[in-house]
Amino acid sequence: MGRTLRTAAAGAMAVAAVIGLSGGIALAATPAWTLVRSPNVNGAPEDNYLSGVSCAGPDFCIAVGDIHGTSSDRTLIQRWSGTSWATMSSPHPGAGGELNAVSCASRSFCMAVGGYGTGTANPTLIEKWNGSKWTKLTSPNPLSSGGTRWTG
């Protein structure tokens, strides 16, 4: 089944990454693009969605999205090492967690944004990378009830 590209971002040192919905991420370090498979956490490409990427160098990129599960969605974060993608551990604050965008200023500072469900509301979600782990930060919720998501 054909999938469309969802987002693109450029990083330092002429490195760029483009995320597709078919379980792959295209990388370019000038001049050519290469398709590199990313891990599928639940085993099927349609269960994993990546929607944002940021690179702080040719061997450090972070891609974010969500994993569609049978009971609820949860956040998904993957890291590029220069040769392959690996899934990182990330906080899952509630049902329906998703990350929509990420920005990495360095290898030790990235911010990812999205939202999640609590059963009665859909609060915003901000997660921070400190070089060793992701943590959930307190975030503002402009609307008092449902439908709030940070997108970038």
CA 152 – CA 132 distance, rounded (Å): 23
Residue 117 pLDDT > 60 = yes
CA 76 – CA 14 distance, rounded (Å): 25
Q: Which residues pair with 104 in a beta bridge?
A: 110
Q: Which of 70, 71, 66, 63 is nearest to 92 (CA)?
A: 66
At 67 the pLDDT is 86
pTM of the model: 0.76
Q: Which of 76, 140, 143, 147 is nearest to 117 (CA)?
A: 147
Within 13 Å and on the Cβ side, how many CA atoms surround 12? 13
- Ordered domains of the chain (ranges, CATH): 5-137 (2.120.10.30)
At 5 the pLDDT is 31
Task: Answer whether 48's CB lies under 8 Å from 92's CB.
Answer: no
At 149 the pLDDT is 63
At 109 the pLDDT is 98
CA 52 – CA 64 distance, rounded (Å): 5
Residue 103 pLDDT > 50 = yes
Residue 94 buriedness (CB in 10 A; 0-12 / 13-18 / 19+): middle
* DSSP symbol at 145: S
Q: Compute the average pLDDT of residues 9-29.
A: 48
CA 90 – CA 129 distance, rounded (Å): 9
Amino acid at 62: I
Percent of the chain with pLDDT over 70: 66
* DSSP symbol at 58: T
